[in-house]
Structure 1
């Protein structure tokens, strides 16, 4: 059954901080009930839920390892139990580790693969089974894939897989009236982005786009909001949200 816009229910993985939090807050402001799936930080998840509720929205937080199929199945079942179904799934959870190909630690590579590739696959698998007609599945990719920046090989490769999963799933859901897209942010002003970067590097990356500023989490959330609601004719795409950087 296709649901009314005001009754839509969204799951946002990685929704307690950074871009994921901005997405959760925006979807709640749009009138969607939001379930925030998070890995570890109870305090930040609770803070996000409180913010949404204090602003008139509905939200819950569920601790979830997105690479664990049992945990993700539980996430979807609990969402259905609390809110009656699932209409929108935004997979923004992911990890980034940087080093050259020659020096990259293979155990760290395995962690990236498990979270960014397996995690995306597992979340999308449950979404493909349970998202209601009229719904949307949105995966967070990255613009850095096209820049070929040194030290980004492992992260870029994992996000290339995210694009592939998204575009194939869009075709597999033919006839279901469910859109599937990937959104690829450029450099965005989050705690994760600033970590380990000096001022010169931040300034240089901010000026890589013609608007000459870093993205804000709200810039990404604006695009997600459209894909999660009214933008029903955008499907099977990777959308670059980076101020014209590439």
Structure 2
């Protein structure tokens, strides 16, 4: 692992120049820089770019804000009230806080957070997202015993498999967005802005919608 760390550190400038200037496909980056898609290297690359510890910062803020987020979800389900109620009935603090975020912000997450059976063509049409593969009945997704694995998907390719839980998957996907210089999905721009500016603390200037949500979180403490 020390050898990989050293090589990735030495090639950072070259890799960054190539990714930013040439904008290669994810499949080409995966072939050229396979180590970049390892969990440790995602975190290391994010630190090289932002000088911020990805996982510890993300989980620190998530721990702080998740209880307040759940309170707000229970008060107002937003545009997806039925979906929010179903989610809250399957309560799991951090994961529920993250899954409810796009619903509360009135965004669409069905193509971002997907659930499927092992035999299904699960990545087709999936530009960016988190895929949960379950053993049998998709309707029982929130049963931990039914989940086979979580995977990160970019441009219809599984780029990281066997992620331990949804919060970790969300943090690592955010790290990959920075490492690969990708844009946020338009349909989830406020969700990712929330992660960037509230959970990671990068850039304090928020849009009106995210600032409003942040203010509500601070008021419910």
**What TM-score, normalized by structure 1, do the two folds share?**
0.27
User: More helix per residue: 1 or 2?
Assistant: 2
**What TM-score, normalized by structure 2, do the two folds share?**
0.29
